[in-house]
Amino acid sequence: KSNLQEAQIIADSLSSEQAYAAIEGFLLGNYRFDNYFRKENKKPTVESLTIINEPISTPQIDELRIISEAVRFAKDLINEPASHLSSVTLGERITEKAVEAGIKVEVMNKRKIEALKMGGLLGVNQGSEEPPVFICMDYKPETAINTAPLVLIGKGVIFDTGGLNLKTGNFMENMKLDMGGAAAVSAALIAIAQLKLPVHVMAFIPSTDNRPGKNALAPGDVITISDGTTVEVLNTDAEGRLILADALVWAKQYNPKLVINIATLTGSAARAIGSYGMVGMQQEATEEMKELQACGEKVHERIVEFPFWEEYDDQIKGDIADLKNLGGPEAGAITAGKFLAYFTNYPFIHLDIAGPVFTEKKDSYRGKGATGICVRLLTEYAKILAQKQ
């Protein structure tokens, strides 16, 4: 309200943990996305912050700067309108930041994706005039304590119209947020690398937009995922699970320690718990989920674990193909997760961030618009893995 450009936090009486939390809240709340305002209409943000607190250390301050900048990067990507961000430019922006952090990056183009027969990603892309990409990131420091990598997978649908099952009303209005998973995993991995955590982490991002073009998938079409699984597409607005299936198959070759999937996958998850947390499911990763939930409590990015009973598998069995991309009218978040789990043979956690990824009105330090959910969660989890050794 004061439009300050410089500020001090005088926190002599606070512990290092309390000071850390206060500064983190300040840095996160200081974010604004004002790229498209004229200069005279932009409101100032704090450019210089001084902290007066003896217990807090320089490494803690450095960590705060790295993590808050990573959250800012994720927010910028999500808030960017689709008119200014394609899958190709997403790959370029992630590559630029990742290479600076010492991460190996490969952005596969459409020809390579076709050669790999990634039918889920190619199928969703059929209606678009923009080509898809598949982004692979690899951070493997010489000091890595894990021989099997931690793999992060993020849904990268640049804009989701629903395809031929076109979204109605105002449900399409903010669908630039549908690449929130891609933004989260890329930003988190950049933070992990900049913090020089001794953990081998990889990230895979399938990216396209979902448009109702003349060649778009139609309800009833059958596509083939890269492992040969056939899928009956009952609804083209259930597209995220299709592109993620190819990424989950791709991860198998690395024999991962754990795969964490981040996606704005279902309205069902948002309706279940609102914007106060995310819905989580796990397969063969009970202890890992408990650790991730503990990290979520610490950074206030909370996870509610849903059941993953085998009875839900029946709801995604196809009538004319191996699977169908839509379950029944109930338990939509779970059946979407079950669809993903079909393509795994490793410990697997799925986080549906449809509820907390984007705020319609200002919400404390989360602000308005993209929240950058899961950047701090995943970074904290990597810190815990490093400390366990």
Alpha-carbon span 97 to 186, nearest angstrom = 9
Q: Token pair for residue 105? A: 């990056």
Whether 167 is a known active-site residue: answer yes
Query: 251 vs 227, 290, 372, CA distance in Å?
Result: 12, 23, 24
User: Phi/psi of residue 73, each to 5°?
Assistant: -60, -45
**Residue 243 class from Cβ within 10 Å (0-12 exposed, 13-18 middle, 19+ buried)?**
buried
Give the burial string for 47-63 (b: 16+ CB within 10 Å, else e).
eebebebeebeeebbeb
Cα(177)–Cα(134) distance, integer angstroms? 18
Q: How far apart are CA 224 and CA 123, in angstroms?
A: 9
Residues 150, 295: Cα–Cα separation, whole Å:
16
Question: Cα separation of 175 and 51, whole Å?
Answer: 38
**What residue has token string 């649908």?**
157
Concerning whether 72 is annotated as a catalytic residue, the answer is no
Instruction: Give 265's DSSP letter.
Output: -
Given 72, 110, 176, 241, the catalytic residue: 241
The answer to whether 70 and 172 have CB atoms below 8 angstroms apart is no
Name, in order, each residue with C-beta under 8 angstroms of 253's C-beta and a sequence gap of 6 or more: none
Choose, from 32, 93, 117, 167, the residue flagged as catalytic: 167
Q: Which residues are catalytic?
A: 167, 241
